[in-house]
Amino acid sequence: MPFLRKWFELEFASEAIKRGYTTFLTLTLPIAVLCTLLGTLRPSEQRGIRIGKIVSTSILAFLLFIGIFFSNILDMCTTTYGEVLYVHKNDSNTRIMLRSFGCGATDSAPNSISVCKVEYYTPLFIRSTRIDTKKIDKRTWVAF
């Protein structure tokens, strides 16, 4: 999924949605790996093979949980969209907004503020690109 989001340049519409997604992955992916174990165990297999499948699948699920957990913990950077500067005349889902990006205590620098064109594709996903408001056609944008 991160590859597809990068390729399509999609972002989550809010940090709450992003947190829900990562929590869902953290909890369900290891469980899904463990559930696949049920389909691979055969009563006709030797005991050692069944134990090997159980142990290796359990270790994989545990490593997945730990990996996803720590990747969520280490991702302390947040993006917030604040003030709406302009709204497109023909598409109210396209806006020019102030974007704040910061990594909290991990970098101890102030948040970086930029002006971005934000396109709301769905309530869950947006596409954000930097834009120079001096170069936009003011006839197609309404100041907000």
Total tally of structural domains belonging to the chain? 2
Domain residues for the domain of 61 are 2-74
Q: Is the pLDDT confidence value at 15 over 60?
A: yes
Question: Do 15 and 69 belong to one domain?
Answer: yes
Name the most confidently modeled range: 5-14, 28-37, 55-64, 65-74: 55-64
| C-alpha span between 129 and 120 (Å, rounded) | 12
Structure confidence at residue 33 as a pLDDT band (50, 70, 90)? confident
Q: Is the pLDDT confidence value at 6 over 70?
A: no
Pick from 13, 42, 74: which residue ends a domain?
74
Question: Do 66 and 84 belong to one domain?
Answer: no
Q: Is the pLDDT confidence value at 2 over 70?
A: no
Question: Do 69 and 85 belong to one domain?
Answer: no
Residue 134 CB partners (closer than 8 Å, separation 6+): none
Q: 20 to each of 13, 87, 99, how far by Cα in Å?
A: 12, 28, 21
Question: Do 42 and 15 belong to one domain?
Answer: yes
Question: Do 16 and 68 belong to one domain?
Answer: yes
State the distance between the two ends of the chain, measured CA to CA, in whole angstroms.
Answer: 34
Question: Do 16 and 56 belong to one domain?
Answer: yes
pLDDT in tens, 61-96: 888 888 887 877 777 778 888 899 999 999 999 999
In this structure, the number of other CB atoms found within 10 A of the CB of residue 79 comes to 16
Q: Is the pLDDT confidence value at 5 over 60?
A: no
Question: Do 6 and 70 belong to one domain?
Answer: yes
